[in-house]
Amino acid sequence: MKKLLLLLATLAVLTACSAHTLVVADLDLLSFAQGTEGLEGDLTVPGSMQVYIPDADDNLATPDGGELISDLPTLDELHGLGIDVVADVENTGSGPLDLQADFRLAPASDSSNIYDGAGDTSLTNTSLHLEAGASGQVHLEAHLQKGDPALDLVTGDGFRVGVELRVNGSSTIHYQITGFHVVLEQRPFDLIPEP
Amino acid sequence: MKRLWILLLTATLGVASAQGVRSLGMGGVTLPGPWAAGLNPAYAAYPGDAYGPGGGFDLPLGLINLALRPSVSPLYYFTDFATFKSNFDVLAFLDQVSRPYEFMINPPSSPDKIVLHVSADGVQITDGSGKPFQLGTYSGGKSGAAGLPLPQPFLLIPIPTGLSGLHVSLGAFTSAGGFGLNPSPALSRDLASGSLQPNTEYSFSLTGAASAGVNVNLDFATPLPAIPGFEGKVYLGGQLEGFYGLLYADAELTGTTTTDDHGAPGPVTYSNRLFYVYPGSGNGYGGRLDLGVALDYQSGTYGLGVRNLFGYESWSGVLHTNDGSGHSSDNSHTITHAAFDPAVYANGAYAQTLAGGDVVLYGADASYAAGAFSAHAGVEYQKSIFRLRGGLGYENGLKLGLGAGVKLPGFSFDTALTSHQAPFSGQMVFGLAASLGFNF
């Protein structure tokens, strides 16, 4: 009786759902940022430097806990995870620049540094060479499916994300983050208990 | 466990009152005849062979899907969990279980994606192609069987009275309805606008109700004496129907969630309410008054019936509640309903005999009850022993009927291709129905 009531209760939630239905939470993290602080700016690169986005400790140049994502009903039994980060960059100085961007995923408990490889992991990275006066786009995109070990970092308590940007060269750069989406996918049928 | 069996038994009995396959083939039209006496008491005095037999035993073809088709059958949950988990579709199941006499050829399919767009502006929910979610189309309408006109009884046994026009019959009735998902007004409103509001409580309820019992019908129907100068024939009828209820179940399962400052939904809590009656725990009783008139004029027949001109019913049983925080209770409970709650039904048929003896039969009906309107129109072509049928109907959406049959002395076989719009998705679903008739 209890199992059947549990099944009926679950089916009530799943009305309009099927085995192939995915519930997708598309999080627009950029919209939660306060103003343009940290999302757009100019940096003087003295030879090499790293910046960490989003800036959780009011210092772009120091690694931190990134953005904590929690309190979402789709976090249990996650079926997939997607990320999509886009940044426009322009070399406004006189020398060439090399950029490397690394997207990090970490458990909710890794609140101090999600860029040190201790408990956290790299989901995707890209690189870009910019001559003086040139502009380009940094695009980080990744998609994890159920079964990927990195998905184990996402629990009911949440998870953390962030981007490490390494710049080499002597010049100045103008950057603007134009998109920061995290997509969580859940198959509601994964929640149905076995009889 | 007893409560569950009550619910399942009454729901299963409730589907036994489906309309005939001949009617399905004509888009849902109910033709004039004694079989329509429950809708218009005047038809109790109407000849049964005027428009052919009323149909036979409907074959519950939908059970094939409910038992075997992985996308429709919940049985796989118990027998083959992997198959259930990779194939079952709640929408297909709900649609098939509401039409047990139709084998759905293409059960409706739930959306591939339900997308929650979460941003600082709030939460928007779309179906994956950008269209806002429309949960309201799932609404099962009025919850509970109480207050609705009782369905036509089945297993009706006439008792001779020796008086012309007076009929007394004993029978049994079943009723099932109100199945559906009913979002709260706030949830319907905000899903339709595409954005959940912050710090708002939303709820949705899964409802269903069924009842069964025995009834006694006392009806008087008679053709009026010929009216001088008028070629037609008028039939009048009235019916008093009393019932004694044996089984009753009215269930409501409610899920509630509250959004946070950004409009994101929080954990869902569930509460449930089940009012049930079974022999030993309580009973029900009541009655209603119906009136009707029918007119035969030239090659046509036209009828108007009003059921439930006055109705009263009372059910005493047990109310089981669970508030979602682990507190449950079982208490004696009585519900009563007394009201002028008319259900109006009008129908008509016209038979045209062609050269060579073939017959074309036209039929149409319309009804209004408890805020719901439905209408059907269909045609049947009769050639020798063969019958071809077609029609259109409106019952919470358009439906198409196509049918064919064979009528032999003492035996008939009818099939129908039906269609209806699936709830929520609006998908056109086609079905097959069949019946066997024996008329000795």
In B259-299, beta strands by DSSP E: 269-277, 283-297
| Domains, chain A | 2-191 (2.60.120)
Chain B nearest-CA distance from A118, in A, is 30
CATH of domain B2-61+101-438: 2.40.160
Q: Which residue has the tokens 């950057």?
A: A175
The maximal CA–CA distance of chain B, rounded, in angstroms, is 80
Q: Which residues of B touch A26 (CB under 8 A)?
A: 115-118
Measured CA to CA, the distance from residue B209 to residue B247 in angstroms comes to 11
Nearest to A19 among B88, B119, B255 (CB): B88
Contacts of B94 in chain A (CB under 8 A): 15
Contact yes or no for B138 and A19 at CB 8 A: no
Lookup result for tokens 């969580």: A184
More confident residue, B430 or A9: B430
The answer to whether residues B94 and A17 touch, using CB atoms and an 8 Å cutoff, is no
> Quick one: CA dihedral A15, A21, A23, A28, positive or negative?
negative
Contacts 24+ apart (CB under 8 A), B183-188: B183/B135, B183/B136, B183/B138, B183/B139, B187/B135, B188/B135, B188/B136
The residue among B253, B239, B208, B274 whose CA lies nearest residue B11 is B208
Q: Around Cβ A117, how many Cβ atoms within 10 Å?
A: 11
Residue in A180, A153, A185 with CA at minimum distance from that of residue A21: A185
For the cut 50, the answer to whether the pLDDT of residue A9 exceeds it is no
pLDDT digits (tens, 9 = 90+) for A125-150: 999 999 999 999 999 999 998 889 88
Q: Using CA atoms, how far apart are residues B377 and B379, in angstroms rounded to an integer?
A: 7
Decide if A19 touches B, using CB distance below 8 A.
yes
Whether B128 and A15 lie within 8 Å, measured CB to CB: no
Q: Which residue of B has its CA nearest to A26?
A: B117
Quick one: pLDDT at residue B202?
A: 86
Q: Is A37 on the interface with B (CB under 8 A)?
A: no
CA B7 to mean position of chain CA atoms: 17
Task: Please list every residue in chain B whose beta carbon sits closer than 8 Å to the beta carbon of residue A15.
Answer: 90-91, 94, 138, 181, 206
- State the Cα–Cα distance between residues B333 and B348, nearest whole angstrom: 44
Compare all CA atoms of chain A with the CA of B260 and give the residue at the minimum distance: A71
The angle at the Cα of B404, spanning B403 to B406, to the nearest 5 degrees, equals: 150
Question: Which residue of chain B comes nearest to A7, CA vs CA?
Answer: B77
- Residue A36 touches chain B, beta carbons under 8 Å: no
Q: Which tens digits make up the pLDDT trace of A34-56?
A: 665 567 888 898 889 998 988 88
Alpha helices in chain A (DSSP H): 2-14
Find the helix or strand (DSSP H, E) in which B157 lies: strand B154-159
Confidence (pLDDT) at B344: 94
CA-CA distances (angstroms) from residue B362 to B1, B46, B228, B346, B355?
Answer: 50, 18, 28, 15, 17
Torsions phi, psi for B272 (to 5 deg): -140, 155
Q: What residue in B sits closest to A5 (Cα-Cα)?
A: B4
Cβ <8 Å between B114 and A8: no
The token duo for A116 is 């040190």
Say yes or no for a CB contact (<8 Å) between B90 and A31: no
Give pLDDT, residue A89.
Answer: 93
Give the chain A residue whose CA is nearest to the CA of B134: A16
In single-letter form, the type of residue at position A22 comes to L
Distance from CA of B411 to the nearest CA of A (A): 42
Residue contact B115–A15, C-beta within 8 A: no
Chain-wide mean pLDDT for chain A? Answer: 84
Q: Locate A100 and state its tokens.
A: 């490397």
A72 and B CB contact within 8 Å = yes
Nearest CA in chain B to A23: B114
Structure tokens at B43: 């038809």
The complex's ipTM works out to 0.77
Closest approach of B108 to chain A, Cα-based (Å): 10
pLDDT of residue B7: 42
Interface test with B, best of A18, A27, A75, A157 (most B CBs within 10 A): A18
> Can you give the length of chain B in residues?
440
Place of tokens 């291709």: B417
How far, in Å, CA of B369 to CA of B151, rounded?
12
Per mean pLDDT, which of A87-96, A183-192, B30-39, B411-420 is the most reliable? A87-96
In Å, how far is B184's CA from the nearest CA of chain A? Answer: 14
Q: Where are the domains of chain B?
A: 2-61+101-438
Residue B87 to residue A19, Cβ atoms within 8 A: yes
Nearest residue in chain A measured CA to CA from B425: A16
Distance between CA atoms of B112 and A42, rounded to whole angstroms? 43
Please report which confidence band the pLDDT of residue A116 belongs to, taking 50, 70 and 90 as the band edges. very high
Reading the block at residue B116, the tokens are 């929650």
- Minimum distance, in Å, between the CA of residue B391 and any CA atom of chain A: 30
pLDDT for the residue numbered B17: 35
One pLDDT digit (tens) per residue for chain B, 440 residues: 444 444 444 344 433 333 478 888 999 999 998 888 888 999 988 987 778 765 567 888 989 999 999 999 989 988 999 999 889 998 888 888 878 888 999 998 888 888 878 777 767 777 777 777 655 554 444 333 444 446 666 667 878 888 888 888 888 887 766 666 677 888 877 776 767 788 889 887 777 778 888 988 888 999 999 888 888 899 999 999 888 999 998 888 888 888 888 777 777 787 888 899 999 889 999 888 999 999 999 889 999 999 888 888 899 999 999 887 778 899 999 998 887 878 899 999 999 999 888 999 999 999 998 778 999 999 999 999 999 999 999 987 788 899 999 988 888 899 999 888 776 677 889 999 998 887 65
Give the list of residues 6+ apart from residue A40 with CB closer than 8 angstroms, or none. Answer: A175, A176, A177
Residues B239 and B39: their CA atoms lie apart, in Å, by: 10
pLDDT at A15: 54
- C-alpha–C-alpha distance, residues B137 and A157, integer Å: 35
